[in-house]
């Protein structure tokens, strides 16, 4: 299957547009979070940073784990299809 140059250019432009559209959203922030962080001391800022890490790290590890498990299972099914004599009924 050959991809034409115009299709490749179109896909590239669409990708660039999709990356630049959310840029204005990065300028917005939660007013409550901003005022709390601005009025807080060093201890509160450290707690806020720790909270952010606690909320980010577990879902990241779970996503990576799921991808690993799915990739492993996909390869397991491919191997069982190639060698039908394994005797396993799925």
Q: Give the model confidence (pLDDT) of 16-40 as tens digits.
A: 888 777 655 665 667 777 787 778 8
Cα 44 off chain centre by:
28
Q: Does the predicted model carry a pTM greater than 0.85?
A: no
CA neighbours closer than 13 Å in the CB half-sphere of residue 6:
0
The answer to whether the beta carbons of residues 75 and 81 sit under 8 Å apart is no
Domain ranges of the chain: 42-82
pLDDT given at position 60: 92
């Amino acid at each position: 299957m050959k991809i034409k140059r115009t299709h490749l250019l179109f896909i590239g432009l669409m990708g660039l547009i999709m990356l630049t559209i959310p840029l204005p959203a990065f300028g917005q922030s939660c007013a409550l979070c901003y005022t709390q962080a601005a009025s807080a001391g060093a201890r509160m800022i450290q707690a806020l940073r720790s909270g952010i890490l606690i909320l980010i790290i577990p879902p990241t590890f779970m996503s990576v784990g799921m991808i690993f498990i799915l990739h492993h299972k996909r390869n397991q099914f491919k191997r069982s299809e190639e060698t039908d004599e394994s005797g396993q009924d799925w």
